[in-house]
Each structure stands twice: as structure tokens, then as C-alpha cells.
Structure 1
Amino acid sequence: MAISIMRLTQLRQADLNLLVVFAVLAEERSVSRSASRLALSQPAVSRALQRLRDLFRDDLLIRTATGYEPTPKGQRMLSELSAILPRLDRMLAGADFDPAEESATFRIACTDNAAQVICPSLCRTILPASKRVTFQFLAWHDGSLEELEHGRLDLALNADDGHAPERFHREVIYEDEFVCVVSKDSPHTRRITLKQYANGLHIGIGTLAGRQTIPEQRLMALGYQRTCVLEVPYFVAAMRCIPGTDLIATLPKRLMAGEPHDPRIRVLEPPPELTGFRYLMIWHPRVHTDAAHTWLRSAIRQACRKGVLA
């Protein structure tokens, strides 16, 4: 994001040490305690406070019977600085992101498959020690990679269907296979052949442009095309549509393994031509070395390992 010349001028004129003094004063509510904590004299702290008032054209901190109290503008500054100062300190020191001390919100696009594999483990293994971090998992849609490009997403989790641009970084976080889900009274008992699969009626899961891309790609490469009479946006919704029908749903094996047993359905091996697939973590190069994003990717890896083994 571009910084205007006016902002650059203001930054050059500002003494960032004053912000540290303000943050300590706002916490301690006392010039003497702040001076001791900052290893400064009390007059130096008082002069710093006056410079801050001149700079921001506000009293910022008002003396009361119980100590200094922030003005509304001072309270807003303190709220902003609680997030900004640790990041500046980390940037200057080259330190790692500390989720126990720093606040962050991460926006992650994924399918319900990835959410069911990763999120339960994330809640048990990562969140207990990262209470100032917020994870926002958003439904995967056609514009997810564009949002990643423009910084509206921090991370994307999706099957390796060949649509992620080469300029993005990517990493395989787990591998999976397909299974075919049919009604319990289906004539298919153990495995569906490729011909039976191609001739059947299917429920598709619209992960990209209304298509379940990997099965479609595999079939097209073999000269086949399946007929989807229903498209739904979620894998679990597709599974729950199956009982009492002649339809076939092609779902990830790990997702099905985590679902409670439903006696109304039968889980079959797919045609051998529908081989397994890889699941990717995708991110933009601009955040590749960012400490907070490095921590995020590590957290997803850890949650994924636990989720896959669960």
C-alpha cells in the first residue's frame, strides 16, 4: 500500500520513542512509576508528555486524584499502540511472532473438507496457547485466489486442481483419496467401475465455478463425462442427500472417516482411475517472510498433522 508524502513527512518529524513513553504512562498512570520503568528522569517523562500533547493536539492523559486517565483520543491511541508497538519491536529485532502476547486476525479460505480435517485439531492444539489470535475460516469460492492476491485473505487451503497461479507459494499439507457414497440399497456393493461411474447420476460439489474440479479433470483425460443432476456447495450436504436415491457422491476419504456412521449409506471404493489428490496451503509471496504469517503456516501444519492422525 502506498504511503502519501504527507504521511512520510509526519513520520520523519515524529519521535517514535514518544509513543513508547505514552504507552507506559497510560499503563502506569504515574510519572514517577513510568520514569522508573523507562529509566528516565521524571522531568524527561513530563517533557515527553507535553511534546505528545503538542504533536496530537490533545491532552491525551489527564491528572486525576487516582493518577493519569486517558482522554478519548488517548484511549484510542493506547488501543492502536498495543497492536502496533509489538509489531514494530519485532520488525526491528527480527523476532518471532508471539501469539500469547500479540493480537492478530487471520482470514483463511477453505472447503468444508479442509475445515473438518483441520479446525477441530486447531481448537485443541493451537488456540489454548494463542488466545489473542483469531482465525476466520471462510467458504472457498471462485474469487478466493483473487482475494489472496489483493491481501483480503491470508491463506487459502484447497485441493491441488492446477488452478493456483505459479506466482503463489504452495505447500502440500496432506494427501487424500476419493470414495463413492451411495444409498444402502444401491446395486453397487464394493467398488464402482469406471463405466458404471460414468453412466451413473451424480451429486456434484461446486468447489470452483460450480464444478468439482478433480473428478471432472480425471474423467475428461480418459474421454468420459459424468452427469450431475444436483450441485451443492458442501461435501457433507452431498453425503446427506444420498440416502434413498440412486445417486453417487464422490467425497474425500478423510472427511467420511470423521463422520458418524450412517446406516442409510454405503461407502465404496471409487474407480481406480480416480486416484488420490493432494491438499495445498497457498499464500502470496509478499507475506512469505512475515513473522506472523510464518507462525500461521506453522500452526496450520501442526493442526493438520494432528487432524490427519486423529
Structure 2
Amino acid sequence: MNLHHLDLNLLFILKTLLEEQHVSNTALSLNVSQSKVSRSLQKLRLLFKDELLVKSASGYELTAKAKDISSSLNDVLENIGQLVEGKTFVPEHSTRSLRLFALAPYAHQGLPRLISDIQRQAPNMLIEVDSKPKPPFESLIAGEVHFALSANQPSSSENSLYRIKVGGFEYCLLMREDHPLAQQDLSMADLAGATLGQISLDGRQAFSLGAQLKSQARLEPDALPGAAIHVTDFCLAAAIAESSDTIFCMPASFAQQASQGRDLMVKPLPPELQNDSQDLYLYWHKRYHMDPMCIWVRELVKQLF
């Protein structure tokens, strides 16, 4: 391949094409004409000797080669950015992109102050936040993001990750105001007999509260409660709780917000579970451990939290 005529702008268009998987959406995202994106796609197809993006029954999909390219393109563009900026990082002059992954409750807890400080000190940087429900370390391992904010623990196979603590969550219960259990202090046995909902932000359906009930209430194995409904959205959970007997366990800050102006009640967990909390961590992969921009962000996080 002759790289003398390679236009680096094509790689940035390719990155967005691979993310959007649609010419029109890519044009809107980049604020350029659709014809420019189409011409760029034709050049990229010639460059990589592959269709990259093909029509399917559901719209468009990536070819196998495009998927391979996608897994390494972020690293390539990141290296180009470092090459241009050099080994030092000057926040006020930087035009790099900072990519973060955080599911909704973690993003609300840890990102507003951080983003505010980054924008103040590095006004020309682009901050991209991905909050789509998926396993928390997937994007981090793939090199798609610089940092992930999560209360989950990585598996033993994900041993290339570093982390620092940035906060934590206290949990409580959310139910409708006229729920049969609303006017009493709740016990483990009360919850074991109640209709419980699960908010599965990353698509998992493991019901941790059920396991706690089995342990603390000494339930028989066949009496282990399961979640009657799984949702991936806090607002939907609040609406379901308001119109049914379903009880949701969620971070106290979200429960307080969800109950405002609605016929909902926030209740403490039974005493056996009131010490349960989750620590929130900022994770990063070793590939970015010595990156000057990421070092600066980590120092900023340490100052804030």
C-alpha cells in the first residue's frame, strides 16, 4: 500500500462511519455533506480493498475487515494525536478527544464535576461519553475508551486494568405510596414475599438482592425470590413501581429524584442490608497508563474525589 497519498482526514471519517454504520448519520455527526462522506467511503474502499459497509435487511452492517479495522483504529488515531502533541500535555492547547464509558447512575455520580473541570482547563478538548447498556469493561479492553466508571469488579482475566476510587453508593427501596408494605419497617421476610424488580443496567439478569435474602432470611433453596421484571432504565422502574406492587432496589440518590412529584415512597433496606454499599471506581487499561492526557485526567480525578 502506498501511504504517500493517504489523507488522514479519511481515517477520522472512517472512525465515525464504523460507529454510525450509516452514511447520512455520519454526515450529520461530522457536520459535512452526505456526498462528501460517500466520496470518502469510496476512497476508503479502494484503500482497504474492501466494501467496509454493506446493506443488510436491517440497514447497514460492517464487513469482517471493517470490524477488524475498528478494533485498532482508535489506537492508531490516539497515537497520531500523541505524535502531534508530543510527550507533554498542555490542557489549554489540547484538541484531543477524551472517551469515557459510564452507565447512567455512575455517570450522574462521577462525571458532572469532572467534565466541568476538564472543560474549564482544556476548553478545546472533545469529551465523548458512552452510556449504552453493556458489560462495563468491554469498551475499555477493546481500546474504544480511555476510562470506564463502574462499581463492578473486573474478572480475573481482565488483569490489565488499573483503578482509583471516586465515590460510592448507598442503596434503598422504591415503592408506591399506597403499597401494602409502605407503612411498616421492612424485614427480610417481607421482601422475600414481595414482588421485586431488577434494574439490569448492563444487560445482566443476576439478582443480587435475591441472593442476600436467601442468605439473611435463611430461605429454602426453592424459595429463593427472583425478580418479576428486569428493566434497563431508572425512569421506567419508577413508572412501574408507581403503578404496581413491584419494589425496586436502587441507589438512594436516584430513588430520591425519582420519587419527587410522584406517588412514590423511598424506604430503607432491612437492617441486615443497611450496611450494603458499592464503591465507585475509575478504571483504565495499561495501554493508556503512561499517556500524558490520561495522567492529567487521573490527577484531576484525585483532586476532585
So what's the TM-score if we normalise by structure 2?
Answer: 0.62
Give 1:194's match in structure 2, choosing from 178, 182, 188.
188
Map of 2:272 onto structure 1: 273
Counterpart-to-counterpart distance in 1, 2:206 and 2:105: 13
1:206 pairs with 2:204: no
1:163 deviates by: 4.2
1:292 deviates by: 0.6
Q: Which moves more between the two structures, 247-256 or 259-268?
A: 259-268
User: For the Cα contact (< 8 Å) 1:207–1:233, is it kept in 2?
Assistant: yes
Output one character per residue of 1:123-174: Cα deviation in whole Å (capped at 9) or x when no partner.
5443233221222211254444232112112111111345473431122211
Counterpart-to-counterpart distance in 2, 1:86 and 1:291: 13
User: For the Cα contact (< 8 Å) 2:99–2:147, is it kept in 1?
Assistant: yes
Map of 1:240 onto structure 2: 239
1:213 deviates by: 5.8
| Cα distance, 1:84–1:286 mapped onto 2, change above 3 Å | closer
Code of the aligned partner of 1:197: L
1:188 deviates by: 2.6
Equivalent residue of 1:180, what SS? strand
| Residues matched between the structures, number | 223
Map of 2:131 onto structure 1: 139
Give 1:100's match in structure 2, choosing from 85, 92, 105.
92
1:185 pairs with 2:186: no
Equivalent residue of 2:92, what SS? coil
User: For the Cα contact (< 8 Å) 2:174–2:255, is it kept in 1?
Assistant: no
Counterpart-to-counterpart distance in 1, 2:166 and 2:301: 8
Give 1:114's match in structure 2, choosing from 106, 110, 135.
106
Q: Which moves more between the two structures, 203-212 or 172-181?
A: 203-212
| Cα distance, 1:124–1:107 mapped onto 2, change above 3 Å | closer
Counterpart-to-counterpart distance in 2, 1:291 and 1:217: 43
Which stretches of structure 1, 4 residues or longer, exceed 4 Å deviation after superposition?
A: 82-86, 161-164, 219-224, 257-260, 300-303
| Cα distance, 1:294–1:216 mapped onto 2, change above 3 Å | farther
Give 1:154's match in structure 2, choosing from 146, 150, 153.
146
Equivalent residue of 1:243, what SS? helix
| Cα distance, 1:170–1:220 mapped onto 2, change above 3 Å | farther
Counterpart-to-counterpart distance in 2, 1:139 and 1:270: 28
Code of the aligned partner of 1:281: L
Give 2:166's match in structure 1, choosing from 166, 173, 183.
173
User: For the Cα contact (< 8 Å) 1:204–1:230, is it kept in 2?
Assistant: yes
Map of 1:57 onto structure 2: none
Counterpart-to-counterpart distance in 2, 1:162 and 1:85: 31
Q: Which moves more between the two structures, 138-147 or 220-229?
A: 220-229
| Cα distance, 1:247–1:288 mapped onto 2, change above 3 Å | same
Equivalent residue of 1:296, what SS? helix
User: For the Cα contact (< 8 Å) 2:202–2:232, is it kept in 1?
Assistant: no
Which aligned pairs between 1:77-88 and structure 2 lie closer than 5 A?
Answer: 83=81, 86-88=84-86
Equivalent residue of 1:211, what SS? coil
Equivalent residue of 1:100, what SS? helix
1:102 deviates by: 0.7
Equivalent residue of 1:251, what SS? strand
Q: Which moves more between the two structures, 256-265 or 272-281?
A: 256-265
Code of the aligned partner of 1:145: F
Equivalent residue of 2:242, what SS? coil
Instruction: Give 5+ residue unaligned stretches, structure 1.
Output: 11-79, 306-310
Code of the aligned partner of 1:185: D
1:113 deviates by: 0.4
Which aligned pairs between 1:230-309 and structure 2 lie closer than 5 A?
Answer: 230-258=229-257, 261-274=260-273, 275-301=276-302, 305=305
Bigger Rg, which one: 1
Counterpart-to-counterpart distance in 1, 2:142 and 2:119: 27
1:289 deviates by: 2.0
Equivalent residue of 1:160, what SS? coil
User: For the Cα contact (< 8 Å) 1:190–1:268, is it kept in 2?
Assistant: no
